[in-house]
């Protein structure tokens, strides 16, 4: 019998087991079979701290483990290949604004301008990343790069804006006072989207 079935049997006591007869052990084994997998994942490891669910070397689900720390591997990737990708990944900077910006910049061309706003729109756990159309040849790749560095639980939005640079704003010939009289800050003007 499995360890889980043994524990249930011990908790019920010998009297119940005797009354149930010979059908009891296979019935109990079938009943707790699904719990056995969970027990394995949550039982402490004998030789080091943690459980198989939280230990890269013993988890049967390294793909799930990778999602928690930001390493996305395609479905069907062999477990050992996923573990190797996780071991090679430097996670000490993951989730920090500089890491997100660096990942995004690697997908851009030209001056590679990236604007990252945390707590966007006053909402906790919201991050907005803005790049400019002329510098973003593949927005899908840029989004994947940003998401690869995003911490778990954060909602990240990528905006590829036509935008206005400082040079474009000053070329309109308006003074700073005239621009601010419109009620839009430079940050708002620099994220103009659409055609």
Tokens 């930001």 label which residue? Answer: 70
Q: Note the pLDDT tens digit of each residue in 34-49.
A: 888 787 778 887 887 8
Q: Domains of the chain (ranges plus CATH)? A: 3-88 (no CATH), 97-189 (3.30.300)
pLDDT of residue 195: 32
Burial class (CB in 10 A: 0-12, 13-18, 19+), 78: exposed
Q: What is the per-residue pLDDT for 146?
A: 92
Q: What is the pLDDT of residue 179?
A: 67
pLDDT at 76: 83
Ranges of residues in the chain with a pLDDT under 70 are 70, 90-94, 163-173, 179, 183-195
Q: According to the model, what pLDDT value does residue 168 have? A: 54
pTM of the full predicted structure? 0.48
């Amino acid at each position: 019998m499995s360890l889980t079935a043994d524990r249930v049997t011990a908790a019920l006591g010998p009297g119940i087991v005797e009354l149930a007869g010979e059908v009891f052990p296979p019935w109990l084994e079938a009943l707790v079979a699904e719990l056995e997998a969970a027990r394995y994942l949550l039982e402490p490891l004998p030789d080091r701290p943690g459980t198989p669910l939280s230990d890269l070397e013993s988890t049967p689900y390294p793909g799930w483990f990778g999602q928690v720390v930001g390493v996305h591997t395609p479905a069907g990737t062999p477990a050992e290949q996923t573990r190797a990708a996780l071991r090679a990944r430097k996670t000490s900077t993951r989730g920090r604004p500089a890491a997100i910006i660096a990942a995004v910049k690697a997908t851009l061309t030209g001056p590679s301008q990236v604007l990252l706003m945390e707590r966007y729109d006053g909402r906790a756990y919201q991050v907005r990343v803005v790049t400019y159309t002329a510098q973003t040849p593949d927005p899908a790749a840029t989004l994947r790069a940003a998401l690869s560095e995003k911490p778990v639980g954060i909602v990240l939005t990528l905006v590829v804006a036509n935008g206005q640079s400082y040079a474009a704003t000053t070329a309109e010939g308006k003074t700073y006072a005239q621009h601010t009289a419109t009620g839009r800050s430079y940050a708002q003007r620099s994220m103009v989207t659409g055609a």
